[in-house]
Homo-oligomer: A and B are copies of this chain.
Amino acid sequence: MTHSLRITDPDDPRIAAFRQIRERDLVGREGRFIAEGTVVLRLLLAAHRAGQGIRAEKLLLLENRLAGLESLLADLPEEIEVYTASQPVLDAVAGFHLHRGVLGLGRREAVPSFEDMLAELPARALILVGCGISNHDNVGAMFRNAAAFEADAVLLDETSCDPFYRKALRVSVGSVLAVPHLRQGESGQLLRRLDEEGFQILPLSPSGTVEIGDIQPAWRVALVVGTEGEGLPADILSRFQPVRIAQSSRLDSLNLGTASGIALHAIARGMGKV
């Protein structure tokens, strides 16, 4: 049996980090983040065990879910605290009805440098680069697709939003915790650096002349996506040959999650990754 502590007071200081989750989302958590649901929690625990810079600190679980989670919690590292609560107490802590009843508090330790991340990539590497991705659903979808198509890393420029934000993490189905990634730097500089490292830079744009399915992937590929609507900055599109996804001429663009999925699928297939 997992050792757990029962919480009866929503104001108990031991679970203060879970209090008023939505309001806390807005101000940020200084390196900490909330994992919701069993799938995301499983990936959080896997990341903790892997010891690659992500730690699980505390779990807060609906008491009647504990039995069903026993296999997930088996051999839980003892430094992870487990708290349980009734539904009313849990809802009072979170500030809304938490029907999933599974919360984890994680912490990011030291973030790798860009150079360290490059050094860790395999020789045959596929990375997904996001520029100015301000929508949490889209960032989450990018990570979910990156995991599905065996991308080796995700790079976000400094103007993109935080993938550890609760909604992005949830939409990614926890893939943010599994796919190596960085969020830093100016997009043009990031791409120049990848170009120097021998990456084939493929900016996705409706203005592209080559269809993604006709691309012969190089040994190392960086697929680059911008925001829905605005798209990628002109300097990127003029420096690197953009590629397009064939589509109806009557529509402006696809949803970014879908577009990144189509492009990753095509390139991952071409590289023999899936």
Q: What is the interface of chain A, defined by CB distance below 8 A to chain B? A: 141, 144-145, 147-150, 173, 211, 213, 245-248, 250-251, 254-255, 257-259, 261-262, 265-266, 268-269, 274
Taken together as a complex, chains A and B put the C-alpha atoms of A261 and B258 apart, in Å, by 6
Taken together as a complex, chains A and B put the C-alpha atoms of A259 and B257 apart, in Å, by 10
Q: A144-B255, A254-B145 are in contact. Are A246 and B262 (CB under 8 A)?
A: no
Contacts of A246 in B (CB 8 A): 265, 268-269, 274
Please, which residue of chain B has its CB at the minimum distance from the CB of A212? Answer: B265
Taken together as a complex, chains A and B put the C-alpha atoms of A144 and B246 apart, in Å, by 14
Please, which residue of chain B has its CB at the minimum distance from the CB of A151? Answer: B248
Contacts of A173 in B (CB 8 A): 251
Contacts of A255 in B (CB 8 A): 141, 144-145, 257, 261
Contact A254 B261 (CB under 8 A): yes
Please, which residue of chain B has its CB at the minimum distance from the CB of A171? Answer: B255
Task: Name the residue in A144, A213, A247, A266 with the highest tally of chain B Cβ atoms < 10 Å from its Cβ.
Answer: A247
Contacts of A269 in B (CB 8 A): 211, 213, 246
Contacts of A251 in B (CB 8 A): 147-148, 173
Please, which residue of chain B has its CB at the minimum distance from the CB of A213? Answer: B269
Give the shortest distance, in Å, between A267 (CB) and chain B (any CB). 12
